[in-house]
Amino acid sequence: MSDALRVALLGCGVVGSQVVRLLDEQADDLAARIGAPLELAGVAVRRPAKHHDVPAELLTTDAEALVTRDDIDLVVEVIGGIEPVRSLLMTALQHGKSVVSANKALLAEDGATLHDAAAKAGVDLYYEAAVAGAIPLLRPLRESLAGDRITRVLGIVNGTTNFILSRMDATGAGFGEALAEATQLGYAEADPTADVDGYDAASKAAILAGLAFHTRVTSADVYREGIGEVTAADMASARAMGCTVKLLAICERTDAGVAVRVHPAMIPRTHPLAGVGDAFNAVFVEAEAAGSLMFYGRGAGGAPTASAVLGDLVAVARNRVSGSRGAGESAYADLPVQPMGEVTTRYHVALDVSDQPGVLASVASAFAEHGISIQTVRQEGRGDAATLVLVTHSAPDAALRATVDDLSKQEFVRRAASVMRVEGMAADR
């Protein structure tokens, strides 16, 4: 058994307090698995008086001093946000501490700076907990699939929005009503913007794309639409074509590089992701040799996230004991990120039209003018209640959007009742 490795914990909220609990309860197992005991040596918090679960002598408000202490080997960060965390972690890395972080926003905005600092200092930077909580995902992408060629990652990576969409699907509720229920049940925060507008999912998409395609991708590279515009009519329209609506993080290897986007999309109910309900997360990975894989579990919550943090902590501690370092960042491929307008997608479009001769021909030619072919079209209702429902084949997103714009201006179109991208159809898989 080697000497104890000393751990500094930055932040002690929902996740941090679970990390403290697990470090204590699993101490013997962790020591046996690492070959050295882990010892909690300090916990940086804003208001020490609030933290009764942590021995008072471990608490400090001076995170900077904690991460530079000579006796600290490993730093765990569960504060979140960009600053002051970036500076703290840079200091920690520069002082030779290995870092485990659950900070998706920081890793997605500026992972490169941290990775470079870790490489320079010869220490580890691990962050499994940053994406999809307890679900082992980054390690499988980075290591298990290291001999394969990942072509596509489709993920439900935000529990709040998945809960809202699942409720809208199950009950026919509108977005506002489902959001209110999510808030009441504690699935949505008081300010749900980061979740509902897709910022959280976009951070995770950037991290996933970076690992999957060995390319640096930041949150600014990710095309993003939230679920605030998803209506009960969209849900009904999805159901009518055997689909449901999910907020998807989509990372694709394309001929032109990589495409990374977050938006609501209709997916067939037969797709494995369609059955992922409530606040669960799941990530569907397509690789050339491995075929289709799916990873499913709890994407958030104190204990599940702490489980992922502890797994990383064991890994970096083992590396420390053996004097080695994990694989580090792999960005050798350095692929360009394709603008959203050029990414090929498929659209579902429901148009309320005046049911008069030639309408279908006019609609079809609007699509044809933009070089888009239509896969299916059906008319619902007659007369003033007529709706044309179309699903296109794949085409550049900009062309699809332009077509819908053109159509919306036509006299015979009363309104575009539902416009949404479609993913996961058999032809795409």
Residue position matching structure tokens 């990374």: 260
Residue 299 to residue 280: CA distance in whole angstroms:
6
Burial 212-227 (b: 16+ CB within 10 A, else e): bbbbbbbbebbbbbbb
CB of 34 to its own copies, least distance (A): 8
Q: Which is nearer to its own copies, 290 or 360 (CB)?
A: 290
Kindly give the pairing relationship between strand 5-10 and strand 59-60: unpaired
Q: Which is nearer to its own copies, 48 or 257 (CB)?
A: 257
104, 204, 246, 409: which is the annotated catalytic residue?
204
401 neighbors 419 (Cβ within 8 angstroms): no
CB of 351 to its own copies, least distance (A): 35
Q: Which is nearer to its own copies, 91 or 281 (CB)?
A: 281
Inter-axis angle of helices 397-408 and 359-369, nearest 10 = 140
Q: Which is nearer to its own copies, 192 or 299 (CB)?
A: 299
Residue 426 to residue 429: CA distance in whole angstroms:
5
- Closest listed residue to residue 41, CA positions, set 21, 63, 66: 66
Q: Which is nearer to its own copies, 296 or 412 (CB)?
A: 296
Residue 201 to residue 360: CA distance in whole angstroms:
38
15 neighbors 102 (Cβ within 8 angstroms): yes
Active site residue 246: no
CB of 300 to its own copies, least distance (A): 11
CB of 152 to its own copies, least distance (A): 14
The residues binding its own copies (CB under 8 A) are 18, 22, 26, 29-30, 32-33, 128, 134-136, 139-140, 143-149, 214, 272, 275, 287-298, 301, 303-304, 306-315, 318-319, 322-325, 327, 330, 332-333
Structure tokens at 54: 């942590």
CB of 240 to its own copies, least distance (A): 23
Residue 29: CB atoms within 10 A of its CB come to 11
CB of 419 to its own copies, least distance (A): 30
In the chain, DSSP finds a helix count (H) and a strand count (E) of: 14, 17
Q: Which is nearer to its own copies, 236 or 290 (CB)?
A: 290
Query: Which residues on neighbouring strands pair with residue 44, listed in sequence order?
Result: 10, 60
- Closest listed residue to residue 359, CA positions, set 338, 381, 342: 381
Inter-axis angle of helices 27-34 and 302-322, nearest 10 = 40
Please list the active-site residues: 204
